[in-house]
Amino acid sequence: MFKGILIEKPGEQTEARLADLENAQLPQGDVTIRIAYSTLNYKDALAITGNGPVVRSFPMVPGIDLAGVVEASDNPAYVPGDKVVLNGWGVGEKHWGGLAERARLNGDWLVPLEPSFTLRQAAAIGTAGYTAMLCVMALERGGVAPDQGEVLVTGAAGGVGSVAVALLSRLGYRVAAMTGRPEERDFLIALGAAEIVDRAEYAEAGKPLGRERWAGAVDVAGGHVLANVCASMRYGGTVAACGLAASMSLPASVAPFILRGVTLAGVDSVMCPRPRRLEAWKRLARDLDPSLLETLSTEITLDEVIPTAARMMAGQVRGRLIVPLLGEAA
């Protein structure tokens, strides 16, 4: 027996509860993992609260992240005792995820734990931090360098945004952090933000082209925020878009793209090819100050996951939320 969050759909509405599960209930896969730590992400909160059509089959264990130790393996790449990380690949949506003490899944989805990280640190980074690194890499591919001007990060107090601020600052960029929560100012400055931008300035419909301001941007919001960010990019700038916290729509004009040569680079962390995943994790080991992870993260128990998911949907959570399961002793 092991404990986990289970989402079921007995009628029209989904229901999430803390449950006792059996090994026989685990889905098919060639690697079984004792989970040391999982996390609570925005997508997990959507699944748990039923506020978004995230879960594709029921019953489902949510959790798009896990860090743990291989217990059994039929995959030649892993042996019992190996420390591994998983982010995305549809876990918590189509395949049981990380918010439980055990998982069985496809070993090809796993990434070996970087030697410089503990399992807890890898969970603190999680999909949010790994996505933030993919966004930084997208800006670099777009030619955005620290000497070209300021970089904007939207949703800066959230999981992706907070890690993006920390990464970009350490890499030498001057970072402007956008948030709708002015009380997070000190937190964001501690991460390396040089300027705080009020989200309200970008939340309503704007002009097709605004004043050229940003050399690059990381956007987690979508909607009017993303449209206004694109409109205020400098010539040749790049926007890395990875989220839809505000809206899935993009009420924008083509003007920034055809008149200023702006690039809108989509960043997907779920099905990202393995070579780019490995590169992102190696870059995180090199470019992220591990001492910041304590500033970025808060622990919650498995019992607290369901009520905390509701708080996350209400915008009352900052940074990364770590869920200890079996801990480093896994």
CB atoms within 10 A of CB 22: 9
- Which CATH number, 3.40.50.1100, 3.90.180.10, 2.40.10.10, 3.40.920.10, labels domain 2-116+293-329? 3.90.180.10
How far are the Cα atoms of 79, 133, 236, 257, 291 from residue 117, in angstroms, in the given order?
19, 16, 36, 40, 11
CATH class of the domain defined by 127-266: alpha beta
- Report domain extents, the chain: 2-116+293-329, 127-266
Residues with Cβ < 8 Å from 24, sequence gap 6 or more?
Answer: none
Per-residue HEC secondary structure of 73-106 comes to ECCCCCCCCCEEEEECCCECCCECCCCECEEEEC
* Strand residue runs (E) in the chain: 2-8, 15-21, 31-40, 65-73, 83-87, 102-105, 111-112, 151-153, 175-179, 195-198, 214-219, 233-241, 263-266, 297-299, 320-324
Nearest one of 83, 65, 70, 163 to 123, comparing CA atoms: 65
User: What are the pLDDT tens digits along the chain (330 aa)?
Assistant: 999 999 999 888 899 999 999 999 999 999 999 999 999 998 999 999 999 889 999 999 999 999 999 999 999 999 999 999 999 999 999 999 999 999 999 999 999 999 999 999 999 999 999 999 999 999 999 999 999 999 999 999 988 999 999 999 999 999 999 999 999 999 999 999 999 999 999 999 999 999 999 999 999 999 999 999 999 999 999 999 999 988 999 999 999 999 999 999 999 999 999 999 999 999 999 999 988 888 888 999 999 999 999 999 988 888 889 999 988 777
User: What's this model's pTM, rounded to 2 decimal places?
Assistant: 0.91
